[in-house]
Amino acid sequence: MTNRSTVLARLAGAVAAGARDQPLAVRLCIACVEILGADGGAITLASTRPERLTVSTSNGTSARIEDLQDVLGEGPGQEAFREGRAVVTHVDGARGGPFPMFTELAGDIAGPLTVWAIPMHPGGTTIGVITVYRAGGALSQSLDDAQFLADAVGAALLDDTATTGTVAFAAWSDRARVHQATGMVVAQLAIAPGDALAILRAHAYAESATLDEIARAVVDRELSFTNTHQDVTHDGTTPDDSTGRGGR
């Protein structure tokens, strides 16, 4: 299993490296594709509800795969949302399996590939799905790490006033500290304030902490996002576990 602090660092770095005129959801989608070693991907919210919305796709093939699921009313993304678990589908052009029409038509669109649909449920409730595909071979990260990444991205996409009743999204007592920390992350990564806040929320999820606790660590210079090629660390040390908690 990849050290999850490394996954978070790569997520922050990918968001910072994205074009400034791209919406945050687009940069998060591209980051997921890069981190997971996929060929393309999409982020969809409310995947089985009438208000289902694909908020970003990395390329035309991803968009067509998402459109296909909308038209057919079946596919791995919708199953992942309903079941709250990752769904892996092999598309080889043959009609069969749990999504026979999707499998056959997706093969016509893109040829043989594997589709991974991973639910985003950072607070326990599934809010959407990250769907990635690859034409050959497995993802570069384990399915557990892919799920961790999906939940972190889900946390980043949540509005900062949202609460789910879990410790990760507890009430944030000191808004001034959060704003100060956001400004520091803006300076460290040269990104927009909204993007910096999203990174802080993702880190709060990963640490099972409140946003205020993460903000305090940033303000106290115990946590820095400056060097995104290394693990994001607390107290200047390198984490030696795979929990992503960095010794907290």
Averaged pLDDT, 112-129: 92
- C-alpha 44/C-alpha 54 separation (Å) is 4
Domains of the chain: 4-157 (3.30.450.40)
Higher pLDDT, 160 or 130: 130
Q: What is the pLDDT of residue 48?
A: 53
Higher pLDDT, 111 or 2: 111
- C-alpha 48/C-alpha 119 separation (Å) is 12
Output the six-digit token pair for 223: 């946590």
> Cα torsion at 47, 121, 235, 141 (round to 10°)?
-70
CA proximity to 191, closest of 60, 16, 65: 16
pLDDT tens readout for residues 19-55: 777 888 888 999 999 999 999 999 998 755 555 678 7
Averaged pLDDT, 128-154: 93
pLDDT tens readout for residues 140-150: 999 999 999 99
Predicted structure pTM score: 0.70
Residue 153 has pLDDT above 50, yes or no: yes
Residue 50 neighbours by CB distance under 10 Å? 5
* CA angle, residues 143, 228, 203, in degrees to nearest 5: 60
Helix (H, G, I), strand (E, B) or coil at 42: strand
Q: Where are the beta strands (DSSP E) in 113-180?
A: 113-120, 128-134
Assign 89 a pLDDT band (cuts: 50, 70, 90): very high
Residue 160 has pLDDT above 60, yes or no: no
- C-alpha 186/C-alpha 129 separation (Å) is 28
